């Protein structure tokens, strides 16, 4: 693959988000995530939670992985509060993404 045709990992993330939402803004909490610049995506919130949480929880040697409180991951996995108790699973109104 040439340098000109190589797709960046950021472009892959954007394509996954657009595909998950089937191009519909309402499917990801009314946020057109695949069009946001990196900095805005990293600062965005959904349901009061950081869309992408980069903070590692626990001690330096603990089991808390970075991203554990990311609204995007919680929503796509159907975990609280995106388990139907407060919000529907992401993408809203669309089939769940495969792991």
Q: What is the pLDDT along the chain (99 residues), one digit of tens a residue?
A: 455 556 788 888 889 888 888 888 888 888 888 898 989 988 988 888 898 888 766 655 555 566 678 888 888 888 889 888 998 888 887 777 776
| Amino acid 5: pLDDT | 57
User: Which residue carries 């109104």 as its tokens?
Assistant: 93
Whole-angstrom CA distances from 46 to 35, 60, 61, 69, 73 are 16, 28, 29, 11, 11
Residues 6+ apart with CB under 8 A from 86: 47, 80
| Amino acid 54: pLDDT | 81
Measure the CA–CA gap between 1 and 91, rounded to whole angstroms: 32
Residue 46 phi/psi, 5-degree rounding, is -140, 120
| Amino acid 47: pLDDT | 82
């Amino acid at each position: 693959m040439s340098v000109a045709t190589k797709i960046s990992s950021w472009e892959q993330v954007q394509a996954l988000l657009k595909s998950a939402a089937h191009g519909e803004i309402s499917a990801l909490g009314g946020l057109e995530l695949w069009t946001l610049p990196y900095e805005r995506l990293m600062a965005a919130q959904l349901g009061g939670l950081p869309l992408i949480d980069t903070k590692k929880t626990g001690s330096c040697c603990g089991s808390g992985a970075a991203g554990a409180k990311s609204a995007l991951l919680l929503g796509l996995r159907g975990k609280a509060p995106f388990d139907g108790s407060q919000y529907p699973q992401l993408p809203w109104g669309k089939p769940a993404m495969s792991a």
